[in-house]
Each structure stands twice: as structure tokens, then as C-alpha cells.
Amino acid sequence: MKKFLLRELRCPKCRKSKKLKLTDSELETDDEIHEAELVCKKGHEWTVEEGIPLLVYPPLSAEDKKWIEDYDQMAETYDEAIKTYDEFLGVDIMKEREKLVGFIPMEGPATIIDVSIGTAANFMAISNALKGQIGRFDFHGLDVSRGMLRVAQRRLTDQGITHSLVHGSVFNIPYADNTFDLVIHSGGINTFSDIPQALNEMLRITKPWGIIVVSDEGLSSKARETEWGKKIIENNSLFAAKPPIEHLPDNAMHVEVSWILNDAFYQIVFQK
């Protein structure tokens, strides 16, 4: 992790903004931090391992842990597994992910986070679509699965994409308020144990006027009436999910719901 990331993080225990410091003064001279101890002003201690600050707090519920163990195990094969969706849904998901560029400011620097980054597929797609422009982006990724983060780190490094990754939970995101121009989340929210809290946290870390884009499995009402739609839901009940708009924070502005990936995923876009 780059040392400047410390300016954007906050201690997940006392939730005080921008109060994390390295304890080892020797490392403070080094721009790139691989292994280190962090401490907040109140004395809460955290570690950085393999270049990733470990900031999950509080410990996960038994229900969330079950999902995370599955993600840790499938991390290395996740990209292959997700490709089966291409045929299943009749789409090229990597190409579809490129449409996220429509939410990025056309010019100037932009700070972007993928919450539940998984294997960093969204950032790979964005950098593919905006080749030559990635220097103006500050890419951040959060995930609670260290297996997924390891794959994301390798993929982004191999592609020469500068990034900051954090091991943290969507229910208590260890970033300061008003940090990001764009917050992306794809593919996890349907199974989150506290959807309102996840959406609240995504809005909190967004800058005023920034944009939040949330998508997950869920057929449009038209698609769920078709034989195709019925088969898809029969195959994977996650596709029966509906966009959780009733859980959006009261201060979410300009909410728009649409369907993407051949009407099989909902997409909620809102603004702070």
C-alpha cells in the first residue's frame, strides 16, 4: 500500500476520520508499505500484511463468515466460474462492465472505489475501455475476502494499474467520509445481512454530488414472466431478487433503477 492511503483511511473501531498512523517510524520514510503496524489516536492497533491494511471490524457474523469462506476458496477460479454467466445470460459480462465508464467524470482526476472488488473485474474493464487515461484515476478496492484481494492485487499489478486495496467490511467501511467521486458495488448486496447499513456506508464515503452504482442479480418484471426468466430463477434463486430501493438512505438523491446484462441484473444509481 502507498503511504498516502493513510490520509484517506479511518480507524474502524472508533470511526474517527484520518487518524491512522504507522507505529514503526523507520517505515514512515518509505512510500510503499508492505508489512507494518498501524495505530489510531485512541490506541487501536491494526496491521498491514502483503501490502493490504487489515481493517475488518467488528468481527463478521456467522452468516457473513459462511459466504466469505466460500469466496476465499473460489477466489482463484472465480473469473472462470463467472464466465459461465456469459452463456447463461447471453451477454459478454466483461464488455458490459465497460459501461461503468459512463459514470466517471469525462476529464480530470477521479477517485473511484469498488466496494466488494472481488477479482477487480470492474477496474480491468474500465482500464480497457479508457486505455491511456488510467493515470487520472485513483483506484481503490475493498473486500472482506483476503483470497479475493490477493487475486485483485495480482491482476491489477500485472496490468500496471496503480491501486490501493483494503481488507474491510461494507458494514463499516474504513474510509473517511466524502472520499470518492464514484462508488461501485456489483454482485454482493443480495446476500448481505444488513443491506441498509451497506448502502448507508457507500453513501457516507461518497463526495457530495458523487455517484453510487449498485448492481446485482435480479430479473426485470418483464423478464421474470418469460420462460427464459423462469428457467433462470429455477436454476439460481438469486435472480428472483428485487432492487432493494426501500433500503436506500433517506438522503440518497436522483435515484434511478434500470436493468442490465440482458434484463437479468438490476442497477441502482444514486447521488449524494
Ligand X SMILES: C[S@@+](CC[C@H](N)C(=O)[O-])C[C@H]1O[C@@H](n2cnc3c(N)ncnc32)[C@H](O)[C@@H]1O
Which of 127, 153, 164, 169 is close enough to bind ligand X by CB under 6 A?
169
Classify residue 62 by its DSSP letter.
Answer: H
Binding mask 107-136 for ligand X (x = CB under 6 A): ---------xxx--x---------------
Residue 64 contacts which entry, ligand X, Zn ion, none (Cβ below 5-8 A, type-dependent):
ligand X
Specify the 3-state DSSP secondary structure of 157: helix
Distances (CA, A) of 223 to 83, 127, 256: 21, 31, 19
Q: Which of 93, 164, 159, 85 is nearest to 122 (CA)?
A: 93
Does residue 76 bind ligand X (CB under 6 A)?
no
Q: Which of 69, 31, 67, 49 is nearest to 167 (CA)?
A: 49
Q: Which is nearer to ligand X, 158 or 227 (CB)?
A: 158
Which of 4, 14, 235, 237 is close enough to bind Zn ion by CB under 5 A?
14
DSSP string covering 238-269? GGG----GGGS-TT-EEEEEEEETTTTEEEEE
Residue 121 contacts which entry, Zn ion, ligand X, none (Cβ below 5-8 A, type-dependent):
ligand X
Does residue 188 bind ligand X (CB under 6 A)?
yes
Residue 42 contacts which entry, Zn ion, ligand X, none (Cβ below 5-8 A, type-dependent):
Zn ion
Q: Which is nearer to ligand X, 22 or 262 (CB)?
A: 262
Which of 8, 138, 143, 263 is close enough to bind ligand X by CB under 6 A?
143
Print burial letters for 159-171: b (CB count within 10 Å at least 16), e (below 16). Answer: eebebbbbbbbbb
Q: Is 202 exposed, middle or buried (0-12, 13-18, 19+ CB in 10 A)?
A: buried
Does residue 44 bind Zn ion (CB under 5 A)?
yes
The torsion angle over the Cα atoms of residues 71, 172, 36 and 26, rounded to 10 degrees, is 150
Does residue 263 bind ligand X (CB under 6 A)?
no
- Residues in contact with ligand X by CB under 6 A are 64, 67-68, 71, 116-118, 121, 143-145, 148, 169-171, 186-188
- Residues in contact with Zn ion by CB under 5 A are 11, 13-14, 40, 42, 44
